[in-house]
Structures are given as C-alpha cells and as structure tokens.
Amino acid sequence: MDITSKSGDYELLELKITSHNGFELDIKNGNTFTSLMVYEDLFSPTMTASLTLSDPEGILNFMPIIGQEKVDLSFVTAGLEEPITKKFIISKITDLESDAAIQNYTLELASVDLISNYEEKISEYFEGSATDIAQKCWKRLSSDKDFEFEPSSDLYENEIGIIIPNMTPMRACSYLTERAFHDTYKSSSYVFFESSKSYVMKPLEMLTQSEPKNKFNLGRYKNAGLGDEGSSPVDSNMENKKAITYSFLSNFKVLDNIAHGLYNSQLTTIDFVTRTKKIHDHSFWENSKDYKYLNQAEGMDENKDPDGPIFDITGQGIQYKPKTEYLLPEIEVKAGRPMFNQEKIYLQRKFFMQLINNIKCSLTVYGDSDLSVGDTVELSLPIFTRLDLKEEWEDKYYSGKYLICAIRHRLSGSRYVSDMELVKDSFNDELPAPIPVIEGVQK
C-alpha cells in the first residue's frame, strides 16, 4: 500500500445496476450507496455480496427492482493495481425501512455463475482423476474466471470410473473433493471454492504451504509519527499493518476432537461382493507428523524450527484414547485396487478438517484487495505478561502463519476494512513446554 494514502482508503471503480429493460443506474457516486460487503468462504463454491442503499429517489419503483437485475462492481485498495471485479444478480431485498423522505434497504447478491450453475445438470460417466473430471464439470459453467487445481493422484478408469448423478457443476466439483487424494499432501483434504481471483480445487494441506501475503500486528502498537524521545520516527506504513480488532474464537476443542475422531479413529470397509472387511486406523499421536503444516513451506530455512502439533505427543500430557468408528463400503475390483480408495481418503480427511477447527482467530484489518480466501497471512501476537521479556516479547505458540478460511470485504463511506476468519493447524514451537520458573514466590 502507498504510505502516503490513509489506512482504509479505496477506489470504487464501478458500481452499476442494470435493470431488466436495459436501463443502467450508476450508483458509484452520490449519496445512495451506503455500504457494500463481499463474502468469500473456503467451504463455499461461490462468492456472495450485499449492497445497502439509502434511497431518496424511489429506485425500487422507477427501475423497478424485481430480481432480474445485474450488478457490476469493481474496487481496489488505494495504491494497489489489481481490483476485485465481479458480476452479480440481485436475489433478494431485505431490511426494507421507509419514512417520509427516504427508503433504506439491502440488496442480497448472488453471482452470475451461480445462476448459470442451476441451468446445467450433469448425469454422466467419467474416467480420469477426480481433478480432471472436476475440470470437465467446471467448464459447463462457461465462467469468465480461471480454474486453479492441484492434480490429484487418484485414477478412475475402466471398471472404476465415476458417475456424476444428476448434479450441478458446482455440486459435482464439491462431490469430487471427497473422491480425490494426493500422494504428497496426504491429508487429501481437497476443497472447492471461489476466491476473488479464481475458482480453486486444492488440498487444504497444500494451501498452508504458500508464502504469507501480508503480516499484521496484534496488540498495542504506536501510531505513525514520532517515536519515543531520541528514537527514530515510527514507520507510517505500520499503521495499515495493525489489527483494528481481533479475538480468538477458540484455541482447542477437546470434546469436538474426540467426537469427530481427531485423536483416534477407525474405519472398517466392507466388500459386500466378497464379504470381506478391512480395518484402517488413524491416530493423532502416531500419524500427526505425516502431514505438512503452516510453517513447513518448501525451501524453508533449515535453521528454522517447523511447526509442532497443538497437543503434546510425547506422552507427558493426557493422551485421549476414545476412538470414533466408521463403517463404509469398499469394492476390490482388482487385488490391492479398491474402487473408492477409502483407506487413503476418509480418515485422513476427517483428521485434517477437524484439526483446522481448533485454533480460530477473528481479525479486522484495513482493507487489502490483494487478499483472498485460501491465502496465508502472518500474525505477530505479543505475549501477555507483566515481566519485561525484552526481545522475547512475541508469543511463540500463536504467532506465525495462518490460513484465511473466510473473508468479508466491507466498504462504507470512505473506509474499506477486511474481516477475516483465520485458522492455524499447529504451534510454532514443539511441545512439551519447559517447566515454568515462578519468580518472587517463597518456597
């Protein structure tokens, strides 16, 4: 961001409503536009938005707005070059309030691609990998956006092809995430979602390996301007790196982890044709090091410690033993070649999906249109203590890389902020923690 611009500045490049009869209403300028919110979610195949208007002219009547209108929008953080651009359809009007002089209401917006999605149904037999099939299904949307995917290691061909049973293209792609596995990213936790830049089908584990797009500071920091007496001025560019608000929604969820098989799980697969069964086990305590985590990016500095599990796996802490059991069909078409590949997908996916439900942080920062869901950011979190730790002031467990699993771009007046939900799959330091030394306590 240009350091001469004010934090939260943005440029609204386009905000236009096109009526069913072709009439175009530009609301980019003027007092009608009150706020705009654009939503991205790692677990949603499409973006949504809501546009709040303060209307003294009676737009609802003279256009009129009847649910057959298009909305074109484009905006960018001041100083950046690549805008967020999207076409929507008005799907609903909510929060309508009127008085003698003005009407206030919110237009709920659905993407044009989502509408096109419902126009196409797929009932077809496919061969190839799950991601190859997903690409074929996605092309039925005829979307203007690119489709980014990580080729999966599975292969469905000959007698073990895949039938898509009367699904929309988006539903088919989501369905195929549960059939895909990856030999490098062993969690096989594929997700299909739309970001502000593209459609994506990749493993969550792979997304954690990307370099952070930005770094934000949590806690109290000096405002831009002069520093302490005798010190250099505070960098004005730090202003837009400060978190406006933040909170940790959760740090761990022991009961949920037990119920969803994070610690211990067992899968029994049954071949109903040959009447044989196989048992597959997965354990946090035994298998947690099989996966890549947020600080384990390719080419990482050898002197930098990798992330450690969020629980002590050395046996010093409580090792939760309850086991969640699952039962699924599996067909052995050829020796050692199962039709559904459940032994490579099911428990691993369950594990990783529950793992990212533990450490969750809600963060509001000055708007950054370069950030999209699926990106990673770095957080610097000060440790809470009354002792002067000097250079050791940063929380070594909760600072570090986080994955953006949801983001809301919020524009109102002259201010743009981003509300993000971040997740972390591991600590930045391995457990067990050293036994603390409590000072000032008489023995």
Phi, psi dihedral angles at 405 (to 5 degrees) = -105, -10
Question: Helix count (H) and strand count (E) of the chain?
Answer: 8, 23
Q: Look at residue 23 and tell me if it is in a domain.
A: yes
Cα(181)–Cα(352) distance, rounded to whole angstroms? 13
Q: Are residues 47 and 161 in the same domain?
A: no
Q: Look at residue 260 and tell me if it is in a domain.
A: yes
Q: Are residues 34 and 138 in the same domain?
A: no
The set of residues, in sequence order, having a beta carbon less than 8 Å from that of 233 and lying 6+ positions away, is 225, 226, 227
pLDDT in tens, 58-98: 888 888 999 999 999 999 999 999 999 999 999 999 999 98
Among 116, 148, 168, residue at a domain's last position: 116
Q: Are residues 328 and 410 in the same domain?
A: yes
Confidence band for 134, pLDDT divided at 50, 70 and 90: very high
Sign (positive or negative) of CA dihedral 72, 78, 84, 85? positive
Confidence band for 3, pLDDT divided at 50, 70 and 90: very low
Q: Are residues 56 and 192 in the same domain?
A: no
Answer yes or no: are the C-beta atoms of 377 and 214 closer than 8 Å.
yes
Cα(371)–Cα(84) distance, rounded to whole angstroms? 10
Q: Look at residue 427 and tell me if it is in a domain.
A: yes
Cα(41)–Cα(397) distance, rounded to whole angstroms? 26
Reported as type and span, the H/E element at residue 60 is helix 59-62
pLDDT in tens, 292-331: 998 764 444 444 445 788 999 888 889 999 999 999 998 8
Cα(210)–Cα(226) distance, rounded to whole angstroms? 35
Greater confidence (32 vs 326) lies with 326
Residue 235 has pLDDT above 60, yes or no: no
Answer yes or no: are the C-beta atoms of 88 and 49 closer than 8 Å.
yes
Residue 401 has pLDDT above 60, yes or no: yes
pLDDT in tens, 263-292: 999 999 998 888 889 999 999 999 998 999
Q: Look at residue 223 and tell me if it is in a domain.
A: no
Answer yes or no: are the C-beta atoms of 400 and 216 closer than 8 Å.
no
Enter the tokens of residue 22.
């072709």
Paired with 297 in beta bridges are: none
Answer yes or no: are the C-beta atoms of 37 and 90 closer than 8 Å.
no
Q: Look at residue 130 and tell me if it is in a domain.
A: yes
Cα(139)–Cα(199) distance, rounded to whole angstroms? 11
Enter the tokens of residue 424.
């972390």
Q: Are residues 95 and 67 in the same domain?
A: yes
Q: Look at residue 218 and tell me if it is in a domain.
A: no
Q: Are residues 291 and 397 in the same domain?
A: yes
Q: Are residues 180 and 267 in the same domain?
A: no
Phi, psi dihedral angles at 131 (to 5 degrees) = -75, -35
DSSP reduced 3-state for 97: strand
Give the CA diameter of the chain. Answer: 84
Answer yes or no: are the C-beta atoms of 391 and 276 closer than 8 Å.
no
What was the pLDDT predicted at 48? Answer: 97
Q: Are residues 130 and 268 in the same domain?
A: no
Cis status of the peptide bond prior to 64, with omega within 30 of 0: yes
Q: Are residues 150 and 166 in the same domain?
A: yes
Cα(51)–Cα(35) distance, rounded to whole angstroms? 6
Cα(202)–Cα(210) distance, rounded to whole angstroms? 12
pTM: 0.89
Q: Are residues 129 and 19 in the same domain?
A: no
Confidence band for 340, pLDDT divided at 50, 70 and 90: confident
**Burial label, 317 (beta-carbon count in 10 A; 0-12, 13-18, 19+):** exposed
Q: Look at residue 241 and tell me if it is in a domain.
A: no
Query: 392 is in which domain, residue-wise?
Result: 250-361+372-434
Among 75, 95, 116, residue at a domain's last position: 116
Q: Look at residue 212 and tell me if it is in a domain.
A: no
Cα(440)–Cα(435) distance, rounded to whole angstroms? 16
Domain at 36, CATH number: 2.40.10.10
What was the pLDDT predicted at 228? Answer: 47
Q: Are residues 273 and 406 in the same domain?
A: yes
Half-sphere exposure of 35 (CA within 13 A, CB side): 14
What was the pLDDT predicted at 225? Answer: 45
Cα(386)–Cα(383) distance, rounded to whole angstroms? 10
| Structural domains counted in the chain | 3
Among 116, 136, 154, residue at a domain's last position: 116
DSSP reduced 3-state for 198: coil
DSSP letter, residue 66? S
Mean pLDDT, residues 419-428: 93
Q: Are residues 195 and 92 in the same domain?
A: no
Cα(119)–Cα(150) distance, rounded to whole angstroms? 27
Domain at 196, CATH number: 3.55.50
DSSP letter, residue 394? B
